[in-house]
Amino acid sequence: MLNKYARAFFTTIFTPVARLLLRLGISPDVVTVVGTLGVCFGALFFFPRGELLVGVLVITAFVFSDTLDGVMARMQGRKGVWGAYLDSTLDRFGDAAIFSGLAIWYFTGGEHQLTGYLALACLVLGSLVSYAKARAEGLGMSADVGIAERADRLVTALVTAGLVGLGLPERVLTVVLALLAVASAVTVLQRMLVVRSQAMAAAALDARG
């Protein structure tokens, strides 16, 4: 949902910034790497210290590089697969850092193991969501469906963590992470069913041919 409605808005916002960076000789790949390092730093330095709000603010400052590098690549007319591969791969690092940082805090100083386990569940299931799509595309099929895409999961988790950092009861984050874990599991199932349908249709065509 966020991918669909927010991308055009942020593209408009970041176009002047993208143009400036390109004039300075900075490549989209550099923006991708720096953005990922910033997200990982914010998540793995501040979250384990219990500084959830500061962590969210730092992550937010860098997470928009995921849009900025795409705008820069389009302005350069880049159509190769390397940029997309680098972006997708480093996105996994950022996602892992965010949920790992939350898990570390709630297993240690936060002293709420259920929330820690739910953060780990979101990490694992989120990776499966991405893998289900990537593997389908590698087999020549598509799995661009699901109720919990990456942007939706991250925004929901970060907004809730930030509000907890402002004083919202921690049980709210526990509930949100539980819902995200369930939604991620449902998304994996949705993608599996879509791929199964495509595979069976292809097999039926081969049998008739």
> Catalytic: 91?
yes
d(CA 191, CA 157): 22
Please report, in angstroms and rounded to a whole number, the separation of the first and last CA atoms in the chain: 39
Nearest to 94 by CA among 49, 44, 138, 45: 44
- Which residues, including other chains, have CB under 8 Å from residue 38's CB and lie 6 or more apart? 58, 59, 61, 62, 65
Nearest to 162 by CA among 42, 33, 68, 14: 42
d(CA 209, CA 205): 6
DSSP category for residue 147 = S
Catalytic residue among 87, 91, 95, 152: 91
**CA angle 162–46–157, rounded 5-degree value:** 35
What are the residue numbers of the active site?
91
